[in-house]
A and B are shown apart, each in its own frame.
Chain A
Amino acid sequence: MFKTTADLLIKSHPLRVVQGRFFAAAVAEPKSEDRLQSFRTFEADPSKHNTNHQSQFYKVDSTDKKVLFQYGGLPKSFQIQAKTFNETCLMVRDPSIQIINHLKTIDYTQPPIKFVLYGKKGCGKTLTLAHIMHYAYKNDFLIVHVPWVGNWMRRCKDTSNSETKPGFIDLNIDAAAWLVHFKTQNANILENPELKTTIDIQWNKRECTPIGSSLLELIDQGINRIRFASNCVNYLAEEVKKLSQSGLCRTLLAIDGFNAFFYPNTRVFTEKKEMVPPSRVTLTEGFLNLTKFDWKNSVIVVTVDEIAIAEKDQISHYPRYLLGKSGFEHLDPFLPVEVKDYSEKEHQSIMDYYRERKWIHSYPGQNDELYFLSGGNPFRLMNLCNAL
């Protein structure tokens, strides 16, 4: 269930420590106390982050982390790092500040605005999304978060034929796991008694969720009766839409690896071993429904990622290629936000952070050498620093 964008990288691109012949200039490094301020910010509330905090680290509260990312949402390698460092710190970077600023200013009575995060492999799209989610959590958004769509389309737990829709495939265990994830993320908001279902849902002859029962009941129904989990997700999506429309809650839809919904090849198979396109997976329907324009009081942030699709097609990291024609038309007009490689300042900052956490031991010219070797790519830098 873990979201593993960056982890998949290890398989797809086995990174080797490139030990080239080059001459690193010795740079006199300032003392760590002077720089402590420059790479760390004590502003733990993401809603107060602005461009002044750029390329600084802030600590995510452990309770927040537990609520938001207990069932996925952070790359596995990042989780390991966080465990080793004994704290979870995120860097305040340009794309997340941009989006958070937009979130502060946009008119929520209008249809939702779609932000698409894109960037090369291992650039930090997922962590940017995590930062935005943290902001949303702090500002009492209802968070509809899919940790990694690739987990459904490329390594689903089980498949079964849908009972309600002929020809469709249910991923019930995955759906139930997602419901649990949704429930933990929004535990506070779901306690609000005003969040009620608007239609009668007849599961089968005996079981039904009557109109006016709370959302929690609907979710619990999905979790307890795993057979209905996929349908439950779709109903939940519809309900969330209606509730936001009526102004009872403000919703952030965050989907990581959104392009997997539009990539024609999946690893979901029917009983006859035929491949199922994503459009025939029940879960797809609910989330594509959520990414339409026909509701309001909400905002949509999705990431498109090369790793969500098969390795042979990982050619470009741009959204039009990854989404395909249908995906692009589904999202259009959206606001593309690029997550770039580290700038020099960000690189300096993360190197200081690593040193402060006693993760690497410095030698003269280390920063320049590593910036050169990693090419500014955060994931590659992390791998390079592992051995130092």
Chain B
Amino acid sequence: MMNLSRNIERVPFRSIEKQLVASYCNSSPQTQTKQEEFRALNIRNVKDPFQTRRRLQKTAVFPPRADQMPVDQDWGSVWPGPRSFHPATVPLPVRQGFTEKGAPPPNKFNNAELMKIPNFLHLTPPVIKRQCEALKKFCTPWPKALDNEDKIQKNFPIEVISSDYCYSSPTIRDPMARIITVKFKLASLKLDDRARDKFLRLVGPRYNEENDTVTIVTDRCPLKKQNYDYAMYLVTALFHESKKVEPWEEMKSEADMEIYCWENNASKKNIEALFGCKSEEIPNAAEYSEAVSHYMNEGENDYTISKYGEAVKKLLKLQGTN
């Protein structure tokens, strides 16, 4: 029963649909006048399927300030201090950033790459010049006698490096300012071989072999003055400690030697025993000693071993067969 009733209800709707379709087909010649508009099939009979979206009103953007800058303006007052890059303020056509091959790098507008890197636009040559002029009245002249590097090196062998920091912040004490670096040439200490060896062992990696420089950095103490005093103390202590000969140093035996020294080795005793006289009196002993030291110090290879053989031949006065 239920089914039947529903069917009955449906019938008039179907007929309406039919009529609609028919009317659509018939109405087509009437709407020919609006040719530009695309006629969409509207089965469900919705009134206005296409709603136009309201456009956002854009606020007007002023042109960048850089466009209106005069050529002869004072740049120092436009860009007085350190600041991150601003495209509208910098009147330069700078470009920065990665692109695919062939394309130019992105321009300065909306360019994060340019804003990330530190710039020195506040340190242009005229600005620096102006600042130097302002500072000049606080400086003393450079001593005239110290006109070249050698003289500086000779008269002032110790070089002390420290940094001062000056910027606007609640405190004027920068933690980096306390660090003291002391540099000097090892040769200026005029140490003998033993003392030099000991000095080198004491300073360890602070010695640079290439330019013969010792570098001591002190940053333990809170104040610059304290660190400076400590560095000076260190230099003094190192110097005197390396000059001192401790009793245990005499116990250094041949096994502790880093390099083979023919003079105090069994090789010398051997040939002295062999010839029954001092090594200086033996002919060709010098060459032999050199060959042995080479052989021991440079390691074994065909060259050193043949040199050694030659030296032995000369020492023992063997005739060369080759």
Contacts and interface: CB of A to CB of B under 8 A. Distances in A.
Asked if chains A and B are in direct contact (CB within 8 A), the reply is yes
Given A293-B274, A318-B300, A332-B270, A98 B316 contact: no
Contact of A113 (B266, B296, B306, B316): B316
Given A329-B270, A333-B267, A335-B318, 17 more contacts: A97-B321, A98-B322, A105-B319, A106-B318, A113-B318, A293-B270, A293-B274, A321-B300, A329-B267, A333-B270, A333-B292, A334-B312, A336-B306, A336-B308, A336-B312, A337-B309, A338-B302
23 contacts: A98-B321, A101-B321, A102-B319, A102-B321, A111-B274, A113-B316, A293-B270, A293-B274, A318-B300, A320-B300, A329-B270, A332-B292, A333-B267, A333-B270, A333-B274, A333-B288, A333-B312, A333-B316, A335-B313, A335-B316, A336-B308, A336-B312, A337-B309
Interface residues of B, number: 26
A105 B309 CA distance: 17
Contacts of A333: 267, 270-271, 274, 288, 292, 312, 315-316
Interface in B275-322: 288, 292, 295-296, 300-302, 305-306, 308-309, 312-313, 315-316, 318-319, 321-322
Contacts of A150: none
B159 to A, nearest CB: 45
A105 B313 CA distance: 13
A337 B306 CA distance: 9
A320 B291 CA distance: 13
Nearest to B268: A332
B229 to A, nearest CB: 49
B273 interface: yes
B309 A336 contact: yes
Interface in B237-286: 265-267, 270-271, 273-274
Interface residues of A, number: 23
Contacts of A70: none
Interface in A40-87: none
A246 interface: no
Interface of A: 97-98, 101-102, 105-106, 110-111, 113, 293, 316, 318-321, 329, 332-338
Contacts of A337: 309
Contacts of B295: 320
Interface of B: 265-267, 270-271, 273-274, 288, 292, 295-296, 300-302, 305-306, 308-309, 312-313, 315-316, 318-319, 321-322
Of listed B270, B296, B301, B313, residue having the most chain A CB within 10 A:
B270
Contact of A332 (B267, B305, B313): B267
Nearest to B276: A111
Nearest to B291: A333
A319 B306 CA distance: 12
Contacts of A338: 302, 305
Contact of B266 (A97, A110, A316, A329): A329
Contacts of B302: 338
Contacts of B270: 293, 329, 332-333
A102 B321 CA distance: 8
Contact of A335 (B265, B266, B312): B312
A98 B306 CA distance: 14
A293 B266 CA distance: 14
Nearest to B274: A293
B286 to A, nearest CB: 14
